[in-house]
Amino acid sequence: MALKALDIYKLLPKKNCKECGDPTCLTFAMKLAAGKADIELCPYLDETAKSVLGATTRPPIKQVKLGVGERSFAVGEEFVLYRHDKTFYHPPGIMFRVLDTENEEEIMAITARVRDETLTRVGADLKFNGTAIVNTSDTVEAYAKAVAAVEKTAGLPEILVSDNPAALAAALVLCGSYHPVICAATPENYKQMCALAKQHGCRLVVRAPSLEALAQLTKDCVAEGVTNLLIDPAPQTLGDFITRSTTIRQLAITRAVPDLGYPVYLDATAFDDEDAAIALGIVKYASVIVTSPLSPASAKAALTLRQNIYTDPQKPIQMNPGLYRVGTPGKDAPVLMTVNFSLTYFTLQGYLESSRVPCFMLIVDTEGLSVLTAVAAGKLNETLVRDAIKKFGVESEVTHRKLIIPGYSAPLSGRIEEATGWKVLVGPRDAAEIGDYLHEEWKS
Amino acid sequence: MASISREFSYEDTAYHLPVSYALTGIAVHDRSTASEVFTKTGSNPLVAAECLLAEATAAEGKEPAPYTGFISDTVIRKLGYSLVDGSILGLALLVGTPKSAESAAAICRELQEKYMLTFLSGGVIPSLSSAGVKLGLDYRLIPLGSKPLHSVHFVDIVARVAMMFGGVSPGDTHRLLTYAAERAKAIVIVFPGLSDEEIAFVDGMRVLGFPILSLGEYEGGDWTPATPSDVVRTGMDIKGIRVTVTAIPIPMACSPAFEGKSIRKEEMQVEFGGGRSPAFELLRMRNPGEIEDGKVTVIGPEIGTMKEGAAYPLGIVIEVSGKTMKKDYEPVLERRIHNFINYGEGSWHVAQRDLIWVRISKEAFSKGVKVEHLGKLLASKFRMDFPQLLDAVAVTLITDQDKVLAGKKEAEKIYEERDARIKGMRDNDVDTYYSCTLCQTFAPNHVCVITPERPALCGAISWLDGKIAYEISPSGANQPVEKGALVNAQNGEFEGVNRFVKKASHGEIERCSLYSVMEFPMTCCGCFEAIALMLPEVNGIMVVNREYKGMTPSGMTFSTLAGTIGGGAQTPGFAGISKNYILSERFLQGEGGIERLVWMPAQLKEELKPRLVPLLAAKGHPDLFEKIADENTAATIEDLTAFLARVGHPALAMKPLM
Amino acid sequence: MIPDLNFGWTSTVGEVVLGATRAEGGTRSRSYRIGGGSTLPFMEKSTSSPSPLIAFEICDDPKSWSPIVNEFCGDLVHDPGAWAKAAETTYGADLVRLCLTSTRQRDFSDIVSLGKTVETVLASTSLPLIVEGSNEPKIDSEVFLKCGETGQGERLLLGTAEAGRYRSISAAALAYNHAIIAQSPIDINLAKQLNILLSEIGVQKDHIVIDPYTGALGYGFEYSYSAMERIRFSALKGDADLAMPMICAPSDSLTIKEVREADADVRNAIAVEWEFATSLAAAVAGAEIVCVRHPDTVKRLKAAFTGLKTRSGA
């Protein structure tokens, strides 16, 4: 069981010396309780206290950073089995696989996709995260060539997939300084793999067919001096993956088996239906998912699912406030005001588009709160609307002065009229009815 | 039963003889089974009637049209459907021979208008036909049979509905009787002309909880006498069958969409109150039967005699009654007057009690809206919004100056009584607290426990609000929490509360102290108005509210703290609270009292000052207010330590916090 | 060394029976018993429990149906009987969900035709049937009466009850022994309240399937996902008012922008991908019935569910 802030505080020096970077020991204690600080930062703790506190305050799933530079990303540092208990913090990296038996052009094209392809959704740019280079040929030269081709194209996080230490060594000459992931160490070869990993500061995927063996293996690798580990529970079926990954997550967050407290690695290409494995990996705790270069449809679905599941349930996604156009609205087009909660925006926009009435959407800043909540909390008010009209120059876009407001914000209608001088029309409560509403009620 | 000589059965039913079957579980088809059930039910006259009628039907065949005789299961299923889905509100049985065909016809008409399904037996059938009334399922007037005895089909219909829809197993007498008494909405209206035997038979229906209303001169017994003009209403009232109100009969549109619409000076026809004339509003509970549902009375001049643009006196008096209505609910319902009047497209209302300000627009006036219509709006809306709670709503609108002033005086007494009652409520006075799970969407394991002295941490819900919400919607977001045995008086820990919290948090939280910040404080969601937290360095507790964006001596801002303690966590040393809780007797009781309070943002201090200073004085700490620091007098923990020492804050000398 | 997982479950998900075979009083070739889970989905010790069921959705008026599906299915969309048969024999679905979209027309009143359609579909397919009734509260009473009556004996799953609108569908369930779908707006407390209201009116718990409302992937799906996980959790922790199987019915999946505006050459692929990802994730969260509209999604989901129930030991 994780320690509470108060209990941690009791074990701290209580000097408020600020050397850990926090203004008070209380603040430091709260951060430790949330797994958001490193116990090592306190210079006045003895080793016993540090190891006791460390064991119970460090994130139950180790944070592992992949790659260097702009496209590097972190995984791990997770605390919950259900996203609704807090949130999932680090979305899994999706890595496109290239085989060293493919020709150079193909390899470069795939790498370029990872480098450039972007899906923009709800104001976020979603991308794939790196490449997994597989030593299918089992030769050293082909492997080195393949890695070189990838390196030439982009500086992305890489996973080197090979059981041939010589091939790995050759590849590491080319990319070792970028701390790639080596895949994989097994109970049979881990000493060799650890040596390679240590040499170049690599992350290491460890693979074993049972959770017992995995726990032992991570222990052994740590003893060899390699701590940035990822676990591959070697699933042969989707059923294997869900049971093993769930078990690992639960045993890690309850601190029942700290040796399993590492991010999970999933090779989706090993499954008949790769999309199924990807979707399963995203919802069930995979931190790194290797896939073949995805079709446009698969790519969109995967990136969207990842974005959805890894959204913080307590922080609604917000749009930037502003005046948005639907179609090509003219000077007499309707102006519909609503909140900047992304879901509200996109839902309304969708219905407005199908209504085929060109119009403006005036999106005001309610800090992501929905209409009902924003009205109840007083965040959606006449001042906000008045200021938004001024700030986004709405009065120069249309000649009329009629504002349509969401049905649930009806209580504000009079005050908005007074504050803005515009006439307020109260629209439907349900966005689905906006099409009918505009066709029946709107006259500029 | 001895007279039964043959076997008999109804073809189109799976329930044999339904009444006997429901009561005993025995399928009756011959003399021996008939005798068996007759004996088993203690010589029940309904059972006897059913057996005899079944045999007679087998012997002589069914009566000719328009009489239906026994009705098939298929039709009953459809009927039961309509009862469940609300298209039919209830069942009525008319038996006997009416003196006047016209008054019988009027009764049937009233039943039809009130969505009742009516069964007829005896002389009333030819009587109605002679008055030209159309009978049949389509008209919801079903002629069962030519004799009062045929009423037994009414009972077998209720029995079948109980078995098909009410989960009553054949033979489960108790369940059947409970269903009939509590769920089946059935009334019996008896016209004159029944023989003694028939009277005994009809009287046998009382055991099923059917009110029996008598229009004949039947003496003795427990039948309710009635007249043709009130028999339907009386019967429906007794059985609690209410017609739902769906329309508001006024010349003005009415919808929540108009709630925010204000009526400016230039737009108004007349106004009331708002400092320009005396006005008040009051909602009172009355006993059932004391008021006439829907009645609206205007005492004084109507809008037609009022000068345009002028202000006139107004008293809005709403009287309500309902079986489950309580005096405690009066203020809660009274608050709705504001919303309801604002729903009117041409009406506007501000404030409450004797501070109200009401306007009717010129546009509404031109459409014919009168003061009376405000009353109709209110009467309708109260019934529509509280269908279970209120059986009757009557509205009186007073526009006569003297009467308004007198009424206002009375109202003011009542407001004072109410305020005193709430102020005086203590946690120790009650055995039940109330929970609230409204914000569980964001915090799955969080539950607020609301007591009279500790409102919900969002500040929006008091103990009384929770109680009323529970009583009005028993399956809603507010549930009762039995206190149970006392565990720790100072911390406010109770066995019942602990049990409740443990269940509500799915086992995550085992203990909850209502008055402590340090030990097992209540969990927090995220919508608390303020946070109380420990400052161990100075042995005190500080408070920071949502509006304050700056740094606190804890080294954390409100937003940082909120992020860590929210989400359903129980964080010893930290508690999410409402602002008003700071003024409660129980605030910081677990830590020794308000003397622990060492720091608060200046703006919050100002806001609470008028009530906090006298409170502190009453507790024997007249100068404590000045000793509570804020961001101006002590911004950091070091500054605070020095400040508190300088002013001699009592917290420094208290028991160590941890 | 590796301890057994102990989530502390104290209860199981309730069971609901759908469909009735001849022996059971109906005319279906099979009936299903859904629910009964005793831990998280696909984590049961034994893999013998049934997979989530895949319901293929058809309608009786394709005017408002997805153009992608209309094009793909061709003439079938004008013949609910044939379409239902295709769902069974060609697409491989476990259930057919008949959506009576004709009720969406303004002033719809042809209740008799609805009865005929339900009859036709029941005759054309031997799969258990879900009937999604009226779109207009004013005609609820007649529509559900007709559907309930026509399907008497077949143990239909009727859709959909909501907080302000459940009397008629409950009446049909009670009168003709069908199960009902109870929908709430992605709020576990409202789901619970609705189930309590249904109990009060007489609908047994084993006749209720919870629909927590499923937003399309990218349009709020994660809210629904978490609502399902929370409902499952509550059920396993002993909350009898939430211990019912769930249904995932994302009716917007194919009308959202990404799918609607996809290029012709990827349109079908993206429609399938969208439905597939949503249904798979929902099943993992606890949905026992998943509804899809594109024929190609069905077999893929079947294979995926089989994969989820297969384990290689260790």
Please identify among residues 178-207 of chain C the ones whose CB lies closer than 8 Å to any CB of chain B: 187-189, 192-193, 196-197, 200-202, 204
3-state secondary structure B367-422: CCCCHHHHHHHHHHHHHHHCCCCCCEEEEEEECCHHHHHHHHHHHHHHHHHHHHHH
By CA distance, what is C269's nearest residue in A? A297
Q: What is the mean pLDDT of chain B?
A: 91
Task: Tell me the backbone φ, ψ of residue B318, rounded to 5 degrees.
Answer: -110, 130
Mean predicted confidence (pLDDT) in B182-200? 91
Residue with tokens 């399907």: C151
Q: Which of C7, C111, C167, C222 to mutate to test the interface with B (most CBs of B within 10 A)?
A: C167
For residue range B16-37, list pLDDT tens digits in order: 999 999 999 999 998 888 999 9
B292: in domain = yes
Confidence of residue B499 (pLDDT cuts 50, 70, 90): very high
Pick the last residue of a domain from B239, B268, B300: B239
* Residue A444, pLDDT score: 62
* B393 and B490 belong to one structural domain: no
Of B534, B567, B636, the CB nearest to A86: B567
Confidence of residue B442 (pLDDT cuts 50, 70, 90): low
| CA dihedral for C276, C279, C283, C289, sign (positive or negative) | negative
| CA dihedral for C43, C45, C47, C50, sign (positive or negative) | negative
Query: Nearest CA of chain A to the CA of B190: how many Å?
Result: 50
Query: Nearest CA of chain A to the CA of B523: how many Å?
Result: 13
For residue range B593-642, list pLDDT tens digits in order: 999 999 999 999 999 999 999 999 998 889 999 999 999 999 999 999 99
* B358 and B445 belong to one structural domain: no
Q: Which of A120, A218, A219, A238 to mutate to test the interface with C (most CBs of C within 10 A)?
A: A238
* Predicted TM-score (pTM) of this structure: 0.89
Q: Which of A24, A84, A254, A409 to mutate to test the interface with B (most CBs of B within 10 A)?
A: A24
Q: Which of A1, A81, A82 to mutate to test the interface with C (most CBs of C within 10 A)?
A: A82
Q: Are A161 and A134 in contact (CB under 8 A)?
A: yes
**Domain range for B51:** 18-239
Q: Is A305 on the interface with B (CB under 8 A)?
A: no
Chains that touch C (3 or more CB pairs under 8 A): A, B
A26:B572 CB<8 A? no
* Residue B400, pLDDT score: 96
* B202 and B262 belong to one structural domain: no
Tokens for A411, please give them.
Answer: 């209580």
Q: Domain A5-57 falls in which CATH fold? A: 3-methyladenine DNA Glycosylase II; Chain A, domain 3 (1.10.15)
Q: Is B167 on the interface with C (CB under 8 A)?
A: yes
Of C40, C276, C314, the CB nearest to A246: C40
* Residue A57, pLDDT score: 83
Q: Are B133 and B105 in contact (CB under 8 A)?
A: yes
* DSSP assignments along B287-330, one per residue: -TTSS-TT-EEEES--GGGSPTTEEE-EEEEEEEE-TT--GGGH
Q: Is A309 on the interface with C (CB under 8 A)?
A: yes
* Residue C314, pLDDT score: 52
Query: Does A64-309 match A5-57 at the fold level?
Result: no
For residue range B446-458, list pLDDT tens digits in order: 888 999 999 888 8
Residue B568 has pLDDT above 90, yes or no: no
Shortest CA distance to C105 belongs to which of C143, C67, C56, C145?
A: C143
* DSSP assignments along A26-62, one per residue: HHHHHHHHTT-S-GGG-TT--HHHHHHHHHHHS-SS-
Please identify among residues 407-466 of chain B the ones whose CB lies closer than 8 Å to any CB of chain C: 437-438, 440-441, 444
**Number of CB pairs, chain A paired with chain B, less than 8 A apart:** 82
Q: Number of structural domains, chain B?
A: 3
B257:A426 CB<8 A? yes
* Residue A37, pLDDT score: 87
Tokens for A332, please give them.
Answer: 């007499």
Q: Tell me how far apart the alpha carbons of residues A38 and A399 are, in angstroms, rounded to a whole number.
A: 59
B85:C204 CB<8 A? no
**Number of CB pairs, chain A paired with chain C, less than 8 A apart:** 147
C174:B165 CB<8 A? yes
Residue ranges of domains in chain A: 5-57, 64-309, 322-441
* B211 and B345 belong to one structural domain: no
Q: Which residues touch A353 (CB under 8 Å, ≥6 apart)?
A: A326, A327, C257
Instruction: Specify the CATH number for the domain of residue B465.
Output: 3.40.1470.10
* Residue B524, pLDDT score: 86
Q: Tell me how far apart the alpha carbons of residues C294 and C305 are, in angstroms, rounded to a whole number.
A: 17
Q: Is B84 on the interface with C (CB under 8 A)?
A: yes
- The helix/strand/coil state of C183 is strand
By CA distance, what is A408's nearest residue in B? B257
C270:A243 CB<8 A? no
CA B601 vs CA A316, B570, B606, B648, C68: distances in Å: 28, 24, 9, 20, 60
ipTM attached to this prediction: 0.96
Residue B103 has pLDDT above 70, yes or no: yes
Give the pLDDT of chain C (314 residues) as one tens digit per residue: 789 999 999 999 999 999 999 999 999 999 999 999 999 999 998 877 789 999 999 999 999 899 999 999 999 999 999 999 999 999 999 999 999 999 988 889 999 999 999 999 999 999 999 999 987 888 999 999 999 999 999 999 999 999 889 999 999 999 999 999 999 988 898 999 999 999 988 899 999 999 999 999 998 899 999 999 999 999 999 999 999 999 999 988 898 888 988 999 999 999 999 999 999 999 999 999 999 999 999 999 999 999 999 999 75
B85:C144 CB<8 A? yes
Q: Which residues pair with C157 in a beta bridge?
A: C130, C179
The H or E element containing residue C225 is helix C221-236
B78:C148 CB<8 A? no
Q: Are C47 and C56 in contact (CB under 8 A)?
A: no
Decide if domain C49-309 falls under CATH 3.20.20.20.
yes
* B312 and B449 belong to one structural domain: no
Burial class (CB in 10 A: 0-12, 13-18, 19+), B161: buried
C175:B80 CB<8 A? yes
Q: How many helices (H) and strands (E) does chain A have?
A: 16, 17
Q: Domain A64-309 falls in which CATH fold? A: TIM Barrel (3.20.20)
Q: Are C169 and C142 in contact (CB under 8 A)?
A: no
Pick the last residue of a domain from B392, B422, B452: B422
Of A279, A307, A313, the CB nearest to C280: A279
Q: At what angle do helices C267-285 and A274-283 cross, to 10 degrees?
A: 40
Instruction: Specify the CATH number for the domain of residue B318.
Output: 3.30.1650.10
The H or E element containing residue B79 is helix B73-85
Q: Which of C104, C308, C309, C310 to mutate to test the interface with A (most CBs of A within 10 A)?
A: C308
Confidence of residue B238 (pLDDT cuts 50, 70, 90): confident
B658:A84 CB<8 A? no
B531: in domain = yes
Query: Nearest CA of chain B to the CA of C150: how many Å?
Result: 12
Peptide bond into B66 cis (omega under 30): yes
Give per-10-residue mean pLDDT for chain A (444 aa).
Answer: 82 90 92 87 87 84 95 96 94 98 96 96 91 96 96 96 95 93 96 95 96 97 96 97 97 94 98 98 98 97 97 85 95 96 86 90 92 86 96 96 95 93 93 89 79
For residue range B413-426, list pLDDT tens digits in order: 999 998 887 777 89
Task: Find the angle CA(A394)-CA(A399)-CA(A401) to the nearest 5 degrees.
Answer: 70
Task: Tell me the backbone φ, ψ of residue B229, rounded to 5 degrees.
Answer: -80, -20
* Residue B464, pLDDT score: 84
The residue type of B40 is K
* DSSP assignments along B128-169, one per residue: HHHTT---BGGGTEEEEESSGGGGHHHHHHHHHHHHHHS-PP
- The helix/strand/coil state of C307 is helix
Of C5, C229, C307, the CB nearest to A276: C307
Q: Are C106 and C137 in contact (CB under 8 A)?
A: no
The H or E element containing residue A98 is strand A93-99
B81:C189 CB<8 A? no
Query: Nearest CA of chain B to the CA of A381: how many Å?
Result: 12
Mean predicted confidence (pLDDT) in B381-391? 89
* Residue A2, pLDDT score: 66
What DSSP state is assigned to residue B179?
I
Task: Tell me the backbone φ, ψ of residue C294, rounded to 5 degrees.
Answer: -95, 125
By CA distance, what is C229's nearest residue in A? A82
Decide if domain A322-441 falls under CATH 3.40.50.11600.
yes
* B470 and B361 belong to one structural domain: no
Q: Which of B637, B641, B657 to mutate to test the interface with A (most CBs of A within 10 A)?
A: B637
**Judging by DSSP bridges, how do beta strands B530-535 and B574-577 pair with one another?**
antiparallel
By CA distance, what is A280's nearest residue in C? C281
Query: Nearest CA of chain C to the CA of B438: how many Å?
Result: 8
Residue B1 has pLDDT above 80, yes or no: no
Query: Nearest CA of chain A to the CA of C196: how many Å?
Result: 24
For residue range C78-97, list pLDDT tens digits in order: 999 999 999 999 999 999 99
C172:B476 CB<8 A? no
Shortest CA distance to A300 belongs to which of A118, A113, A123, A131?
A: A118
Cα Dmax for chain A: 78
Residue B441 has pLDDT above 70, yes or no: no
C237:B507 CB<8 A? yes
* Residue A162, pLDDT score: 96
> With contacts defined as CB-CB under 8 Å, which chain C residues touch B83?
171
B627: in domain = yes
Q: Are B520 and B491 in contact (CB under 8 A)?
A: yes
B7: in domain = no
* B412 and B436 belong to one structural domain: no
Query: Nearest CA of chain C to the CA of B185: how many Å?
Result: 14
Of A6, A416, A426, the CB nearest to B573: A6
pLDDT greater at residue C290 or residue B136: C290
